[in-house]
């Protein structure tokens, strides 16, 4: 498109050409035509010099923790056989990562490339957009301006804050397991359950001679197959239950707690199920996941309504029927406490963090009646419970529910 200078030049050229023709002044007419010719030639050459650049973007690393930085590299490649002109590049950046970036991109030779770099800092949990990149090309006279936008958009994940929870671990492993359950060697009868035929390469020291003599073929003892203890982390994301200023509200504390517990349970070799509104939507509550993937899910976790949380509780109860331990991060809203209490299976432990959400608005607020009632109900059902105020750290809360002194009748 033409710039303001070009429109002015076009107007002057037309005026001079018209005046020269009307008044019969040949020199004025020639000057007007020269200005118009200059404008046309500049427009043609500016179009040819703009070129088509291919913009790609790499982010290192692709996910960061809150407060950490990532390096973004923008690579502009010229696939054409002619040189491009100088241009200005504006890289759109999510405002939560920082300001949009502007660069002067030098002329790029045929089949050559130019690299531009900038750094962003993650201050807010979530998935943040990087791009698109727009390029503005002007001719040396400032008469034409051409804008091109590369629609490619990349994403940077800012993970929730993960607090190291130290050596403390949840008491009671529970009876739940993921995958194969170990089979023990039978001592009285039913030898076929744990004894199988010999396969080439089996250790001869494991030959079961009694069964071999009885069957007339070589039999070996079946090795125990590995199993993993299982756990479920339930995140109460009800929007009517969380309070506090943005970024420091009770929901952010809950997400950070869930992330820290997921990492700690993975360190203890638990097979971890994550129950949030997002995992309910894609039915992944039933399947354990890797810590990295679950942290990325928590990075994009959002609040939900009460009906979604009700369906999440039902799905979570199905996932722990085998006896997995349950870690629940709850608000102080009293809503079907019996549903949550019943999630802890006999022989398995239940750990609950109850958020006193009023303290996230006013740190000096009196203890919430709802939090105390919920604490009493869950403790009576054999849960280990910690009421969390805004000043309570995730580490302090974890150490509280891990203390042996919290053992009650029916609890582990």
**Which 3 state secondary structure label does DSSP give 304?**
strand
Looking at residue 223, what is its pLDDT? Answer: 54
Domain boundaries, the chain: 4-49, 54-159, 183-221, 228-406
Compute the distance between CA of residue 252 and CA of residue 244 in angstroms, rounded to an integer: 9
CATH classification code of 54-159:
2.60.40.10
The DSSP letter of residue 96 is: T
pLDDT at residue 199, rounded to an integer: 72
> Which pLDDT belongs to residue 177?
54
**127 vs 347, more confident:** 127
What is the predicted pLDDT for the residue at 233? 97
Give the SS3 label for residue 345: coil
Whether the per-residue pLDDT at 43 is higher than 80: the answer is no
For residue 196, give the 3-state DSSP assignment: strand
Residues contacting residue 345 through CB under 8 Å, at least 6 positions apart: 174, 175, 176, 320, 321, 322, 323, 324
Distance of CA 357 to the CA centre of its chain: 25
Distance CA 363, CA 360 (A): 6
The pLDDT tens digits for 285-301 are 888 889 999 999 999 99
Report the 10 Å Cβ neighbour count for 290.
11
- In CATH, the architecture of 228-406 is 3-Layer(aba) Sandwich (3.40)
Q: State how far the alpha carbon of 17 is from the alpha carbons of 5, 7, 44, 53, in Å.
A: 18, 15, 21, 39
The Cβ-side half-sphere exposure at 249, using a 13 Å CA radius, reads 17
Does 228-406 match 54-159 at the fold level?
A: no
* DSSP result, 358-383: GGGT-TTPPPPHHHHHHHHHHHHTT-
CA gap 176, 169 in Å, rounded: 17
Query: The pTM is what?
Result: 0.77
Q: How far apart are CA 230 and CA 225, in angstroms?
A: 16
Which SS3 state, helix, strand or coil, does residue 160 take? coil
Q: Is the distance from CB of 110 to CB of 78 less than 8 angstroms?
A: yes
pLDDT of residue 7: 84
Whose CA is closest to 10, among 136, 137, 140, 143?
Answer: 143
Q: Is pLDDT at 412 greater than 60 in this prediction?
A: no
| CA 218, chain centre distance (Å) | 53
Question: In Å, how far from its chain's centre is CA 302?
Answer: 11
Q: How many helices (H) and strands (E) does the chain have?
A: 10, 17
Distances (CA, A) of 21 to 8, 16, 31, 42, 308: 20, 9, 12, 25, 79
Predicted confidence at residue 81, as pLDDT, reads 84
The per-residue pLDDT for 191 is 40
């Amino acid at each position: 498109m033409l710039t303001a200078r070009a429109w002015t030049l076009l107007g002057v050229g037309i005026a001079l050409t018209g005046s020269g023709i009307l008044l019969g002044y040949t020199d004025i007419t020639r000057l007007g035509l020269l200005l118009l010719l200059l404008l046309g030639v500049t427009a043609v050459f500016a179009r040819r010099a703009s070129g088509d650049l291919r913009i790609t973007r790499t982010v290192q690393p692709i996910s960061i923790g809150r407060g950490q930085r990532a390096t973004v590299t923008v690579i502009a490649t010229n696939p054409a056989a002619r040189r491009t002109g100088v241009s200005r590049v504006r890289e759109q950046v999510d405002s939560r990562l920082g300001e949009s970036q502007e660069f002067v991109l030098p002329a790029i030779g045929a089949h050559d490339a130019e690299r531009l770099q900038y750094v962003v800092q993650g201050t807010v949990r979530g998935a943040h957009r990087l791009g698109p990149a727009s390029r503005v090309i002007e001719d040396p006279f400032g008469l034409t301006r051409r804008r091109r936008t590369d629609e490619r958009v990349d994403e940077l994940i800012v993970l929730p804050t993960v607090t190291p929870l130290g050596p403390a671990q949840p008491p009671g492993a529970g009876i739940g397991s993921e995958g194969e359950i170990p089979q023990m060697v039978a001592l009285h009868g039913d030898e076929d359950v744990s004894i199988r035929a010999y396969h080439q390469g089996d250790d001869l020291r494991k030959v079961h001679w009694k069964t071999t003599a009885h069957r007339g073929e070589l039999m070996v003892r079946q090795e125990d197959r590995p199993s993993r203890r299982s756990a479920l982390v339930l995140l109460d994301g009800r929007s009517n239950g969380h309070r506090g200023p943005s970024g420091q509200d009770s929901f952010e504390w809950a997400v950070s707690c869930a992330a820290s517990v997921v990492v700690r349970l993975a360190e203890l070799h638990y097979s971890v199920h994550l129950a949030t509104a997002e995992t309910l939507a894609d039915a992944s509550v039933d399947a354990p996941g890797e810590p990295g993937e679950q942290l990325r899910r928590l990075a994009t976790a959002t609040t939900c309504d009460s009906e979604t949380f009700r369906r999440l509780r039902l799905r979570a109860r199905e996932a722990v029927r085998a006896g997995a331990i349950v870690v629940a991060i709850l608000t102080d809203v009293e809503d079907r406490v019996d549903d949550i209490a019943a999630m802890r299976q006999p022989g398995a432990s239940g750990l609950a963090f109850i958020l006193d959400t009023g303290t996230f608005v006013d740190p000096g607020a009196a203890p919430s009646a709802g939090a105390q009632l919920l604490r009493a109900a869950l403790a009576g059902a054999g849960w280990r419970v910690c009421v969390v105020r805004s000043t309570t750290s995730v580490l302090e809360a974890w150490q509280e529910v891990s203390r042996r002194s919290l053992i009650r009748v029916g609890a582990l």
